[in-house]
Structure 1
Amino acid sequence: MVGRLVFVHPTSGELFYLRMLLCHQKGCTSFKDLRIVAGIVYPTFRVACNALQLIGDDVEWLTCFTEAAMWATASQLRSLFCHLLIFCKVSNPLSAKSAVPSKSMSDFGLPVPSLDVTGVLRNRLLLEEMSYDKEQLRQQHNNLIRKLNHHQRLVYNNVVSSIDNNRHVLIFVYGHGGTGKTFLWTTILSHLRSIGNIALAVVASGIASLLLPPGTTAHSIKILIDLKNKKSCDIKKVPSLAIFYNKQHSYYGTKHQ
């Protein structure tokens, strides 16, 4: 007889599904018995849980959250909820949230955030691009711009002028290692972000992305390019990325390159 089962975090993999089977499979005398469903021996505990319809449609995450709500503190539940969202691919976060009693800001007479604000908070990409310390970037820009040489200043003025005049430009800057390309990009980025613009620092390789603050690779950000001849820029079902691009183009227009 099993008197008590300790809590297992949902990110523990097979151990989590083993615990789930122990709560539902009866008369088992071995780990193999736990994996037998309707006479079929399944290869893993997770597959066995799936055969018993214990997982899918966020059932396992809802069960985990409901059990934890009986003993965990409020801060522990919030931490668990965040871990579920980040690591467990919860398809419907509201289903886990509704497992325990919750309150809204309106219940306490507080103003409810607008849809624009909550939309930004739900979108990690957009939130990251709008959470820079503008005053710190402004000071950084003022310090860097004084150190630009003549050629760097020409590129800087061309980029800033194109944005101020709402003009699309394609600028190619070439230089050997150590000639100040990264320094130039950092100066431009600090200026654009200090005035509230969105500037995506996109490079070809992962190593190069470490040099820009912060940089990312082209394949991870999935740049939208106007491709013809039956080609397309594929963005899979990642709502935050789609909302990020839609927000960027509709709200900021063409002034952000």
Structure 2
Amino acid sequence: MQNQGLQEIDHILNKLGRSLTNFLDMPQPSSEIARNALNRLIRDELDYDTHDEANIFDTLVRGLNTNQYRVYAAILDAHSRDVGGLFFVYGSGGTGNTYPWNTLIAKFRSERKIVLSVASSGIAALLLLGGKIAHSTFKIPFDPDQHSVCNFKKDSTRADLIREASLIIWDEAPMTH
């Protein structure tokens, strides 16, 4: 919000032939944040009502069973320590695997963090809050024999989105070639 305010002030000053750079004691807007503000993919992933997400999280976190809570806590711990990690949760369909994912999604979005929630099939994607199909999110080729890499460049808006993500949840990951 501060950066957006600084951008607005700078825009008004520009109309008057001035800039925030003319005022040495004033903070300057971040060009990285400004670039992200122009990225529609990032804007779309931040277009959640944090209050609504906090309410969803409060409801979901109370419903976690012991095993689900362990998964939830381990992922939050890795994130809070900024160590990252890859977590694989195995369970048959209908055993409650999606529940901790939705709890984490709501938690992160309530804090205005980007979560990419994807699944290998459309049905599984529908069960995730804001879920999308992995093939479209990561531009995974449908025929890996013809194309062996995802189809986007490292300096693209999609690459920026992935770099900005605090969490990627990929349901049914082993089902993707």
TM-score range, shorter chain: 0.5 to 0.7
Aligned partner of 1:244 among 145, 161, 165: 161
Q: How many residues align?
A: 142
Change (3 A) 1:111 1:150: farther
| Normalised TM-score (structure 2) | 0.65
In the other structure, the counterpart of 2:100 is 184
Instruction: Please tell me whether Structure 1 or Structure 2 has the larger radius of gyration of its CA atoms.
Output: 1
Higher relative contact order (CA 8 A, sep 6+): 2
In the TM superposition, what is the alpha-carbon distance from 1:181 to its structure 2 partner?
Answer: 1.6
Q: Which runs of 5+ in 2 are unaligned?
A: 1-10, 21-27, 141-147, 169-177
- Structure 1 unmatched runs, 5+: 1-103, 225-230
Whether 1:235 aligns to 2:152 is yes
**Alpha-carbon separation, structure 2, partners of 1:111 and 1:140:** 42
The corresponding residue for 1:221 is 137
Aligned equivalent of 1:13: none
Task: State the TM-score, normalizing by the size of structure 1.
Answer: 0.47
Q: How far apart are 1:122 and its partner, in Å?
A: 2.3
Question: How far apart are the structure 2 equivalents of 1:193 and 1:147?
Answer: 18
Residue number among 194, 201, 224 corresponding to 2:117 in the alignment: 201
Alpha-carbon deviation of 1:123?
A: 1.2
**Pairwise CA distance, 1:217:** 1.7
For residue 145 of structure 1, what is the aligned residue in structure 2?
61
What is the root-mean-square deviation of aligned Cα atoms in Å? 3.1
Report deviation, 1:157.
0.8
Distance 2:33 2:86 in 1: 33
Structure-2 residue corresponding to 1:168:
84
* Cα deviation 1:74-111 (Å, max 9, x = unaligned): xxxxxxxxxxxxxxxxxxxxxxxxxxxxxx75437898
